[in-house]
Structure 1
Amino acid sequence: MTYGAAISFLEQIGTSYEGFMNAMVVLMESPAIIISLILLKVMDQKQSDSVAYSSKNIAFSSPATAWIDKDVLKEALFGKSILLLLGALIIGLVAGESALPAVQPLFMDMYNSVLILFLLSMGLTAGERLPEVRKHGIQLFLFGILMPIVGGTIGVLVAGMIGLSLGGMTLMGVLAGSASYIAAPAALRTSVPEANPSVYLGLALGITFPFNLIIGIPLYYQLAQWFILL
């Protein structure tokens, strides 16, 4: 939904972007989940007293698939949200532009209205979980703000280096600086049942999400403009 808000932002200021950026929303979801699970396993190995060799050897001597439960890997690749996005891409590829009149009334004309309802729902969810986030102090709050800036900046720089347009650079920054609210939490619930959902959902929805909507999107756009001027 952060990406959808960024699309609306670019349309309002009359900035075009590459059409294939919509596919990047899908393509960047599963790898991010898999990498996060690998990082979790690396951290677990570092903290284990039974490990007799260095963490560097751990990271390269054990296959990543051995660290991830098959059910978790299946969720990361074929979860409901991922499958829906991939299915939509395939349907769009097969049907082509001729199918636009059939889907436009629901998916295009009503998009802004549905977006408003979704944002209201996310606001209620985030508000319920914010007290849990506050218990962990200022460090968690700063993480929820600084990491989007770091990720978004890297996304803009990489997009500029591969020759994307101003709009494409902005969207890549938005994707790199955003948090997952559906697919990643589902994978976490499966792989890390002891994790507190109030923390990771409260952080994503209560801090990172509104930060990106209010500050992040225009910030990534400004960074993209600066990169073009270099």
Structure 2
Amino acid sequence: MDFLSDFLTRFGDKLQSPTLGFLIGGMIIAAVNSRLQIPDAIYKFIVFMLLIKVGLSGGIAIRNANLAQMLLPAVFAAAIGIIIVLIARNTLARLPKVKVVDAIATGGLFGAVSGSTLAAGLTMMESEAMQYEPWAAALYPFMDIPALVTAIVLASIYKSKESQTVGEDITQQEYLSKQAVAAGAGEYPSEPDYPTTRQEYRNQQREQQGKRVEIWPIVKESLQGSALSALLLGLALGILTRPESVYESFFNPLFRGLLSVLMLVMGMEAWSRIGELRKVAQWYVVYAAAAPLLHGLIGFGLGYLAHVTTGFSAGGVVILAVIASSSSDISGPPTLRAGIPKANPSAYIGSSTALGTPIAIAVGIPLYIGLAQTLMGGG
């Protein structure tokens, strides 16, 4: 009962958080058909400011870290971000009536990192007097960016293959139609490259299926997208320059207010597309309940491997598990909205914010701390 009470308390606190409050406010505004609109130029500016700030904070932390000690945990963090998206692509995306692009975007959001969940984890570890490397919190960009890029790339590959399939279906229909014309009227349009027999048509089909989707152009286009470009720019500036003064005086004070406006916009958009989610909402509930714990245990396992091989601290292992179990509330939504515009925000934001984050905080963090204290003594 204490566990259930603790979970419900944390869930209630989450409902009162500005992030979720403004998201729900945006949905209510849209539900009552309000004419309130946030101009697109303002939305883009807010996204730029938020992602630059996230990149700067990560870059500053990385610049101050011990890069040699950080190498293996950073590699594991990147691997976890990619694995989480692949899990969603091969589980959630295969469930009945779940749209593939929605599932991939959901995996991208769960693979990216929540700053609020990380902060909750650090606070709880401090209350337990659990020590960790000063640079451990800077692992989040190594998980965040690969997860978002992987999601955008997988969605682009899927859409490319889907377009090819549609094109092939149209070609087959044209072929059968022209064969019917030829049989009935004795006329066949003069098209040298068009198949004149079913066997030639099948041969062309095999050639089309044999063509591979080029991955690098999709990756390059993803990295050149406005959202990821801003995130990477902030990361580079944080590593290569010393932006602490402008970060503390300008970006950091504005952060929470801008994030609230962003959530308002996302809530309005989520409501406009919530009808698409009604038939499959139960699958997102199941995914959002199970995914944080599964992802966190994957992070804990790889963190424990780093502990055994390089002496990565128990606290560091917990941090890796916490960021693996989290789902992004800052960098993820605008990046996925820009990179996978056909994905439904009601799916990936709703499952993350309403259920995934409370479970990651209320259930996941105590679980990983308990495991670390049992297996490694918490030192």
TM-score higher than 0.5 here?
A: yes
1:6–1:174 contact (8 Å) kept in structure 2: yes
Q: Please, what TM-score do these two structures have when normalized by structure 1?
A: 0.71
Q: CA deviation at 1:15?
A: 0.5
Determine the C-alpha separation between the residues in 2 that align with 1:195 and 1:82. Answer: 23
- Residues 36/120 of structure 1: CA separation in 2 closer, same or farther (3 Å cut): closer
| Counterpart for residue 73 of structure 1 | 223
Counterpart code for 2:368: Y
Pair 1:152-2:283 in alignment: no
Q: What pairs with 1:94-109 in structure 2 (closer than 5 Å)?
A: none
Match of 1:217 in 2: 365
TM norm structure 2: 0.46
Q: Which amino acid in structure 1 is aligned with residue 376 of structure 2?
A: I
Separation in 2, partners of 1:150, 1:53: 40
Contact 1:132 1:202 in 2 (8 A): no
Deviation at 1:16, TM superposition (A): 0.9
**Equivalent residue runs for 1:148-187 within 5 Å:** 148-163=292-307, 164-187=312-335
Distance in 1 between the 2:368 and 2:322 partners?
7
Separation of aligned partners in 2, 1:25 and 1:19 = 13
Q: CA deviation at 1:83?
A: 3.9
| Higher alpha-carbon deviation: 72-81 or 32-41 | 72-81
Contact preservation (8 Å) 2:327, 2:356: yes
Q: Deviations over 1:84-116 (max 9, x none)?
A: 45544555xx59xxx89x96xx97xx9xxx99x
| Aligned residues of 1:26 and 1:82 also touching (Cα < 8 A) | no
One-letter amino acid matched to 1:206: A
Q: Could you tell me how far apart the structure 2 residues matched to 1:152 and 1:53 are?
A: 43
Unaligned runs of 5+ in 1: none
What's the CA shift for 1:173? 0.4
In structure 1, distance between residues paired with 2:284 and 2:341:
20
Moved more, 190-199 or 34-43: 34-43
* Structure 1 residues 77 and 224, CA gap change in structure 2 (3 angstroms): farther
Counterpart in 2 of 1:28? 143
Distance in 2 (alpha carbons) for counterparts of 1:81 and 1:153: 27
Task: Answer yes or no: is the 8 Å Cα contact 1:30–1:76 preserved in 2.
Answer: no
CA root-mean-square deviation: 4.1
Give how far 1:165 is off.
1.4
Query: Residue type of the partner of 2:287?
Result: F
Relative contact order (C-alpha < 8 Å, sep 6+): which is higher? 2
Q: Give, in whole Å, the separation in 1 of the partners of 2:262 and 2:362.
A: 15
Deviation at 1:221, TM superposition (A): 1.8
Match of 1:39 among 154, 178, 186: 154
Measure the CA separation in 1 of the matches of 2:361 and 2:123.
11
Task: Could you tell me which runs of 5 or more consecutive residues in structure 2 were left unpaired when the two chains were aligned.
Answer: 1-114, 169-204
Matched, 1:7 2:122: yes
Q: Cα deviations across residues 158-217 of structure 1 (Å, max 9, x unaligned)?
A: 111111211111100011121122322222222221211122111221111111121121
For 2:224, what is the secondary structure of its paired residue? Answer: helix
CA drift of 1:20 comes to 1.5
Partner of 2:6 in structure 1?
Answer: none
1-side partners of 2:347 and 2:262: how far apart?
A: 15
Q: Equivalent pairs: percent with the same residue?
A: 23
| Structure 2 counterpart SS, 1:162 | helix
User: SS of the counterpart of 2:343?
Assistant: coil
Q: CA–CA distance in 2 between the matches of 1:40 and 1:123?
A: 23
Alpha-carbon distance between aligned partners in 2 of 1:82 and 1:181, rounded to the nearest angstrom: 18
Distance in 2 between residues matched to 1:33 and 1:175, nearest whole Å: 14
Candidates 287, 293, 296, aligned match of 1:143: 287
Structure-2 change in CA distance of 1:125 and 1:228 (3 Å)? farther
Aligned to 2:5: none
- Answer whether contact 1:34 1:76 (CA < 8 A) is retained: no
